[in-house]
């Protein structure tokens, strides 16, 4: 009986096809002449503040970062209509009124924006020996803290796409 079950299991596994990820066209479609595409598309987060007071490396590398002016600038560009904000999860455009509502949430304040998430393409121009990073989108995220002051996590406020086609 065990041999029969093992045989059925092997047949079932053999019938499964490996799942193919849906391919999408690259975001960066206008590479300069001679450029070598290194990454299309890379998504990564950048801390804007050191959350651990004992982490001297984070304090040193973030010593020139000013999260509030960065958030102010980006949100002002949204309010002026020069940048479009999107919902992080649905990728649907947000109205200026919805952005204002999100900013008025009880757990949000611009001073709490402590992380940007970037979506970028990277390429290299060998003739110029230059490395380029083209930002396609960024996400503003704010920190959520527990009652003891420890970081619970980050919550996205909105996503801003920069001159890229819809996902």
In a domain, 153, yes or no: yes
Q: For residue 103, is pLDDT > 70?
A: yes
In a domain, 60, yes or no: yes
Q: For residue 23, is pLDDT > 70?
A: no
In a domain, 17, yes or no: no
pLDDT in tens, 27-64: 666 788 999 999 988 999 999 988 788 999 999 999 99
In a domain, 16, yes or no: no
In a domain, 144, yes or no: yes
Residue 76's pLDDT is 96
Q: How many domains does the chain have?
A: 1
Domain of residue 146, residue span: 52-167
Residue 9's pLDDT is 45
In a domain, 30, yes or no: no
pLDDT in tens, 57-89: 999 999 999 999 999 999 999 999 999 999 999
- Verify cis geometry, omega within 30 degrees of 0, for the bond prior to 41: yes
In a domain, 122, yes or no: yes
Residue 63's pLDDT is 93
Q: For residue 13, is pLDDT > 50?
A: no
Q: If DSSP states are collapsed to H, E and C, what string results for the chain? A: CHHHHHHHHHHHHHHCCCCCCCCCCCCCCCCCCCCEEEEEEEEEEEECCCCCCCCHHHHHHCCCCCHHHHHHHHHHHHHCCCCCEECCCCCCECCHHHHHHHHCCCCCCHHHEEEEEEEEEEEEECCCCEEEEEEEEEEEEEEEECCCCCEEEEEEEEEEECCCCCC
In a domain, 46, yes or no: no
Q: For residue 5, is pLDDT > 50?
A: no
């Amino acid at each position: 009986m065990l041999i029969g079950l093992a045989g059925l299991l092997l047949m079932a596994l053999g019938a499964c096809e490996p799942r193919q990820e849906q391919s999408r066209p690259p975001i960066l479609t206008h590479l300069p002449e001679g450029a070598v595409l290194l990454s299309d598309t890379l998504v990564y987060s950048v801390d804007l503040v050191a959350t651990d007071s004992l982490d001297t490396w984070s304090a040193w590398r973030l010593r020139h970062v000013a999260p509030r002016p960065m958030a102010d600038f980006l949100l002002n560009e949204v309010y002026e209509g020069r940048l479009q904000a999107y919902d992080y999860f649905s990728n649907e455009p947000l109205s200026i009124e919805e952005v204002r509502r999100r900013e008025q949430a009880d757990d949000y304040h611009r001073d709490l924006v402590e992380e940007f998430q970037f979506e970028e393409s990277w390429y290299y121009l060998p003739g110029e020996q230059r490395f380029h990073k083209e930002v396609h989108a960024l996400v503003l995220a704010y920190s959520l803290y527990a009652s003891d002051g420890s970081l619970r996590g980050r919550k996205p406020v909105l996503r801003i796409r920069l001159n890229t086609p819809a996902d």
